[in-house]
Amino acid sequence: TVFARGTAAARPLRRDGDVVYGPGVADMKGGLLVGLAGLEALARGARGFASVELVSVPDEEVRTQPFALIDRVRGADAVLVLECGRKNGDLVAGRKTGAWIRLEVEGRAAHAGTEPELGRSAVRGLCHEILRCEALDGARPGLTVIAGTVSGGTIANVVPAYAEAMLDVRAPARSDFDWATAEIARVGSYDGLEVRVEDAGTWPGIEQGAAGRALLDESRRIAAGLGLALDGQTSGGMSDGCWTAAIGTPTLDGFGPVGGDDHSPDEYARLDSVPVRCGMLTGLCEAIGGGLLAAVEHEGVSGTRR
């Protein structure tokens, strides 16, 4: 979770009819509820699959590397991720490739009152760089470039010798992401300033292939049988499904309860969506076990009926 220890005690779970509020109820305690209920339902039914595993990964929010248990899913027929469903009930069929990029500017300190001309302001240079980089925002479909943190200088009467910013860069298509990061690396030239660009962490996206489309199509069919019409969205947020897709395992995301306002005091999940999401999850597990993906090329990876 993104919340500090003690948040749940200070702001405990609250229920209002079919809606629950509290830290992490959507992102993603509700997903664990659906997963556990799904395993119980599958255990009571006919086993049309070799195995189904629930892999819980508690450090997803603070990591930009593959999770420690990723080898457990290599060769699996599919990964179904229990991040929350979208507010309209949609699944997550795609996720943006993303990175945190650090901009650093070194200048020269000087007395801001008596000899400012001897200084070279790193803050001024950083401001130019932020504006240059944020101008890329929206230049390609779905591309976002946002300066999330900015710091620099020491005290007001010193020309700042150092400043840095952290950019958040995301794009649905890897080619557009690569274009944006290449453009960000083309730093400007400023008298007396040194500008550095550092990759502070990059994570892959989910770009839907044939197996992913088959999973989504079957999910639509199952949902229709439960009286729902849904689709797949592309999300700007990352999940550990990004890493499972990157190793070639067909991945579909968003099977947790419908919810929203993640990471905020207003975070909520709809309890009345839990039975339906559980039905979709178990129905898709059974379909995969029955050979749903047998005729689909797994982006170079063959399944092992787990």
Look up residue 108 and give its two tokens: 């020269």
Q: Which parts of 57-171 are beta strand (E)?
A: 79-80, 84-85, 91-95, 97-106, 144-152, 162-171
Query: Collapsing DSSP states into helix, strand and coil, what is residue 15?
Result: strand
Residues 213 and 81 in one domain: yes
Query: Looking only at Cα atoms, what is the longest distance across the chain?
Result: 83
Residues 47 and 167 in one domain: no
pLDDT in tens, 59-118: 887 788 899 999 999 989 999 999 999 999 999 999 999 999 999 999 999 999 999 999
Residue 231 banded pLDDT, cuts 50, 70, 90: very high
Which comes out higher in pLDDT, residue 48 or 104?
104
Q: Is residue 41 part of a domain?
A: yes
Mean pLDDT for 213-234 is 97
Rounded distance, CA 187 to CA 202, Å? 20
Number of domains forming the structure of the chain: 2
Residues 149 and 213 in one domain: no
> Among residues of the chain, what percentage have pLDDT more than 70?
97
Residue finishing a domain among 161, 181, 203: 203
pLDDT in tens, 125-166: 999 999 999 999 999 999 999 999 999 999 999 999 999 999
Residues 209 and 187 in one domain: no
The alpha-helical segments, DSSP class H, found in the chain are 7-10, 30-44, 122-134, 174-184, 210-225, 241-246, 274-289
pLDDT > 80? residue 301: no
Residues 169 and 113 in one domain: yes
Q: Which residues of 41-53 are buried (b: 16+ CB within 10 A; e: fewer)?
A: bbeeeeeebeebe
Q: What is the CA radius of gyration of the chain?
A: 23
pLDDT in tens, 282-294: 999 999 999 999 9
Residues 91 and 102 in one domain: no
Q: Is residue 216 part of a domain?
A: yes
Which comes out higher in pLDDT, residue 134 or 3?
134
Residue type, 163: A
pLDDT score for 297: 59
- Find where tokens 């209920």 sit: 37
pLDDT in tens, 117-126: 999 999 999 9
Rounded distance, CA 272 to CA 83, Å? 17
Rounded distance, CA 89 to CA 246, Å? 25
- The alpha carbon of 118 is separated from its chain's Cα centroid by a whole number of angstroms, namely 45
Which residues 6+ apart lie within 8 Å of 54 measured at CB? 35, 36, 39
Residues 13 and 72 in one domain: yes
Rounded distance, CA 113 to CA 103, Å? 28
0.85 exceeded by pTM: yes
CATH code where residue 174 lies? 3.30.70.360
Residues 126 and 266 in one domain: no
Residues 130 and 197 in one domain: yes
Element (H, E) at 3: none
Q: Range of 21's domain? A: 7-95+205-289
Residues 230 and 88 in one domain: yes
Residues 71 and 146 in one domain: no
Residue finishing a domain among 144, 169, 203: 203
